[in-house]
A and B are shown apart, each in its own frame.
Chain A
Amino acid sequence: MSKIHVQCTINGEPTEFLCEARQSLLEVLREELGFTGTKEGCNDGNCGACSVTVDGVLVDSCLILAAEVQDKTVGTVEGLASAEGLHPLQQKFLEHASLQCGICTPGFLVASKALLDANPNPSQHEIRHWLAGNLCRCTGYDKIVRAVLDAAGTAE
């Protein structure tokens, strides 16, 4: 079948790509566009490693077809750090040792950023609830939650 031409904005940059209808956004981000920060864990919506935002809404990129992002704005973990340095969440994840193997980390960062954008001062309960769709199999969740709490205090 012929390829689909998609125009969108990724991390602020206008982008276009060709994809097959069956390709997920995750697959296109990683394999066609080189955004390998977004990870594949389960490929069925359970682990959150593939978290991105689409028009500001947090979603699993394994459960969205690449063709669906026509005219949309996509945010990936590569968009977090700026020329000035790491995003406060990234800094706090480092300080609190909130990662071991790191495969879940981009998903947690993107999800946590979406949380702080929606709710700059979340309670611990709200953080745990928001991050329930992100799984970590090595670090445990305490250090991650502490990093987000700390970043919430410092992020402007």
Chain B
Amino acid sequence: MFWQKNIETLPREQLEKLQLLRLKATVKRVYAKVPYYKKLFRAKKTAPKEIKTLEDITKLPFTTRDDLQKNYPDGLLSVTKDKLVRLHTSSGTTGKPKAVFFTEKDIATAANNMARCLTMTGVTKSDVLQNMMSYGLFTGGLMMHYGAEKIGALVIPAAIGNTDRQLLLMQDFGTTSIHLTPSYALYLAAIFEKKGRAFRKKLKLKRAYMGAEPYTEETKNKIESILKLKVYNSYGLTEMNGPGVAFECGFQAGMHLWEDSYLMEIVDPKTDRPLPDGQTGELILTTLTREGMPIIRYRTRDLTAIIPEKCKCGRTHRRIMRIKGRADDMFILRGVNIYPQQIERVLMSVAHVEKNYQIYLEDNDKMTVKVEITKKLFDGNLEHLKKLQFDLTEKLRAEIMVRPSVELVEPGTLPVSEGKAKRVFDNRKIY
């Protein structure tokens, strides 16, 4: 199902023409109206007239999280304040928040993209969407709300919490789609299990959208099997309007990114060089239609790859892979970019090890993965442990092209750093 078939299936050539037109306009706009961008452009010895093709985007400066924070609260506006109708913020773990402003048209575009996403997963005006996300400074709640309303679906703005009432709403109003955080979904799953099959039979749930926190495939599978619905992966960030930047279609093989709204690039996070489709790197996004606060080459720090093949659904907007991790966590071994999440995925698939591991890098590019032997993994059989070690080594080699040595260690022996667990210990003296 399409929300805007013409634009969603626009032939690549025309889509790229449209992108170039919009890119040129955006670049002109920020250069003329945002002093900070003018400064960045000049520092890179570039100007709007340099942009003649889409590839010329590499001549433009990046915008980082730091740039947004430096310009808090309203340093990157390209319209006068009376044109703005909304602001959202995204709080960083450190320092100042980032503020993002929207004109009426910006909100309409974001809602329209969201409507495309929802339609793509089967939502129609007969659907009932229970929005169990926080409504507030966070973009997730409101943008989903606007998108579903645009389609004509019935939206229940349930917001977060009060599980009894959530269940009652689902039951009384025939909720078909839910939008929630993965941790709340897991909580609901536990309650569904307690309530039993008869309770689930009373509900009309078909699909769930999970946002605001990353989740593993295992979590997704668990939620799908217990809640008995389909979970569609999505990608979004406040800086780029929140949810609905990229979304899975019915074929669920990567997320279509709306290329008429965003120009995407993948670059090597260490060298900043552009990478071809299919290769994993940092996702860089440029807004193509935003009025209030256009952003040029935003470094999302999210790692993914563009899927070059056409999707069976007929949409021409290219897909990106599920986010594979944060660029900040990446390390290089024997010239290969590796990120901890790759290792985590293998550990999950082989042994359901999720967090109990550490990676040590030593000179001569030696890599050791230490895996804690938890109760789940230990059945008292030595052969099983040896097999686990062997399987982990082989699967890791296949994934990262480097053969690590896998060590099995007792739980609690891995050093724990304060707060966020440290995964990678790089003890190499020579790079």
Answer whether A and B are interacting partners: no
Interface set of B (CB-CB < 8 Å, partner A): none
Interface set of A (CB-CB < 8 Å, partner B): none
